[in-house]
Amino acid sequence: MLGDKELELTDLVQRAENTFETNFKKKPQWVASAPGRVNLIGEHTDYNGGYVFPMAIQRSVVLAAAPSDETGENGETIVNIYSHNLGETKSLKIIDNKIKRSLTWTDYIAGIFAGFLALGAEIPSLDIVVDGNVPLGGGLSSSAALEVSVATLLEAVTGKNLSALDKVLLCQKAEHDFAGVPCGIMDQFASVNGKKDHLLLLDCKSTKAYVVPFENPDISILIIDSNVKHQLANGEYAKRREECEKAAEILGVELLRDVKMADLEAKESEMDATVFKRARHVIAETERTANAAKAMKRGEWSLVGELMLESHASLRDDYEVSCNELDLLVELVMDCGKSKGVLGTRMTGGGFGGCTVSLVPKKILEEIIQDVSARYFEKTGIQPAVFTTRPAQGAQMVKQ
């Protein structure tokens, strides 16, 4: 799904501009881009107000756009959008400063338009090409990349500039209200605020982030897409959120992030065993995430790796959001040898499929990719998709 060949951002921009010219018979006036993200550690902590530790990746959604003269029968604003990835054109109508959901991929875009309209922005008719190399639905947040690229474009088009946090919140609201996904703020935050060669330790309660350098040239960040997505993901996500709320209620706090492990243990007898396990994951994971950031800052790479492995075990056993394919990938990567310098690996994203993220020595990167891919295929009959990334810059206007 990820495609073997890395497309550099400049190539992607070129492709989007060419696609725009072919489709709309004119040159784009604006080009905006926003990256996907990967979370190194801190899973299912965001909606509990805990820490997450993501970075923007070298894969982006790019938009090429220009004003258009087209209007609806009653003078309505028309937005034509062609997705190069889906090979499909859709049109949105803005009527009386309002835009509707249509239960398709354009909702991620319409939600951002709605956010700008609510701020009183005047949006002209537009033609837009969407192109990108973040896999759709692979857990690397193509949805946030799409939302943030649209918000970045609309800032340039309307002249309405948002603070970074307001932009993040506007995009999150679009995902909630238009796409119907009750996500935390991590994905949009990383796509807006990503910093080259840095990870972001984000405190999801205060929304403050601390940047941590990742400059070690000997360590590669390896992302492996299991190429499975089990259907129970959405329903189980909602269940986990309810279980966390239940635990917080019993513990008398608003967010699980404010609980110490000893407080949880003291209330174990008052809790359903499942609710207890869920809370144990969240509390331990928040601590692990803060510790991983500290360890990285000090260059204690083996500790970072250990914490990633603990995180995976906790997601598998206590939070129960892993699956056989992700567990297998984790096992296969570690089989490549701690003694050879493999640091750690874990599932990343919501779970039930999607990707793993691993820290591995650059000098045996190719060997690991070959070995893990072959053995994963042998056991599952599925070809995984693999790529490496360095922490990338957040959203930007490429042309305006």
Residues forming contacts to ligand ADP in the complex (CB under 6 A) are 61, 83, 85-86, 105, 108, 130, 132, 136-143, 146
CA distance 25 to 95: 26
- Partner that binds at residue 211, options ligand ADP, Mg ion, none, CB closer than 5 to 8 Å by kind: none
Q: Buried b vs exposed e over 292-310: b needs ≥16 C-beta within 10 Å? A: bbebbeeeebebbbbbbbb
Q: Is 285 helix (H, G, I), strand (E, B) or coil?
A: helix
CA distance 119 to 192: 19
Other Cβ atoms less than 10 A from the Cβ of 72: the count is: 13
Nearer to ligand ADP, 87 or 120 (CB): 87
- Partner that binds at residue 80, options ligand ADP, Mg ion, none, CB closer than 5 to 8 Å by kind: none
CA distance 305 to 336: 14
How many residues at the interface with Mg ion, by CB under 5 A?
Answer: 2
* Side chain identity at residue 367, one-letter code: E
For 121-186, give the secondary structure using H, E and C: CCCCCEEEEEEECCCCCCCCCHHHHHHHHHHHHHHHHHCCCCCHHHHHHHHHHHHHHCCCCCCCCH
- Partner that binds at residue 138, options ligand ADP, Mg ion, none, CB closer than 5 to 8 Å by kind: ligand ADP
Nearer to ligand ADP, 229 or 294 (CB): 229
State in angstroms the smallest separation of the CB of 141 from Mg ion: 5
Nearer to ligand ADP, 108 or 301 (CB): 108
State in angstroms the smallest separation of the CB of 198 from Mg ion: 22
Would you say 399 and 28 are in contact if contact means Cβ atoms under 8 Å apart?
yes
State in angstroms the smallest separation of the CB of 161 from ligand ADP: 24
Nearer to Mg ion, 24 or 237 (CB): 237
C-alpha 98 chain-centroid distance: 28
Nearer to ligand ADP, 181 or 253 (CB): 181
User: Residues 107, 127, 131, 187: which is the catalytic one?
Assistant: 187
Is 127 one of the annotated active-site residues of the chain? no
Strands 51-52 vs 54-67: parallel, antiparallel or unpaired: unpaired
Residue 391 vs residues 123, 166, 295: alpha-carbon distances, Å: 33, 23, 17
Nearer to ligand ADP, 77 or 83 (CB): 83
DSSP 108: H
Nearer to ligand ADP, 155 or 225 (CB): 225
CA distance 383 to 369: 12
- Partner that binds at residue 136, options ligand ADP, Mg ion, none, CB closer than 5 to 8 Å by kind: ligand ADP
Extract long-range pairs of 202-209: CB within 8 Å, 24+ residues apart: 202/51, 202/52, 202/53, 202/54, 203/50, 203/51, 204/45, 204/46, 204/47, 204/48, 204/49, 204/50, 204/51, 204/52, 204/257, 205/49, 205/50, 205/255, 205/257, 205/258, 207/165, 207/168
The verdict on 39 binding Mg ion (CB under 5 A) reads no
Q: Give, as ranges, the residues between 135 and 164 that touch Mg ion (CB under 5 A).
A: 141, 143
Kindly report the backbone phi and psi dihedral angles of residue 135, in degrees, each rounded to the nearest multiple of 5, phi listed first: -60, 140
DSSP 398: E
Nearer to ligand ADP, 49 or 111 (CB): 111
- Find the helix packing angle between 164-177 and 142-158, rounded to 10°: 120
CA distance 261 to 228: 34
State in angstroms the smallest separation of the CB of 73 from ligand ADP: 27
- Residues known to be catalytic: 187
Which residues contact Mg ion (rule: CB under 5 A)? 141, 143
